Amino acid sequence: MKIVIIKNQTKRLNKFLDWLIHMVGYAIVLIAVSLIFKKTIYIDNSYFGFWGLMASIIIYFLNKSIKPVLIWLTLPITGLTLGLFYPFINVFILKMVDFILGNHFDINGIFMGFFVAICISVMNLLMSALVIEPILRRND
């Protein structure tokens, strides 16, 4: 299986490998935060972390499908607040996951959603810098 795809002279990972890396990262962040803050975020641990993985899959798909529309719709508000509204789009995505998964995933309060959204953003930056970039550099 090839790891690197070259399009228009830019290198990027195979879509499945990129998806897999982000799913593992999202699941680790969600489970770690739910273990640290047990009263404010809850992920059902039945089926050995299945609900954490389901939440991360739903977050990934909502980020790829609905988030661009939300960014476009809230562009005036984000511009007026000088970009401070942007993290609340991630909080809205997390609340949608909370609604979709029902009793298996629960975030109590907007501040905990904001904290989880920041943790996911930091995880995305770290995954890019520590995992994806070294793989791409190794295949030069």
The domain segmentation of the chain, as residue ranges, is 4-138
Residue 41, SS3 per DSSP: strand
What pLDDT tens digit does each residue of the chain (140 aa) get? 556 555 555 566 677 887 888 888 888 888 888 888 888 888 887 877 788 889 999 998 998 899 999 999 999 999 999 988 888 898 999 999 999 998 989 998 888 888 888 888 888 888 888 888 888 777 76
The two structure tokens encoding residue 37: 């803050």
Amino acid symbol at 108: N
Fill in the DSSP letter of residue 12.
Answer: E
In this structure, what token pair is assigned to residue 138? 């190794």
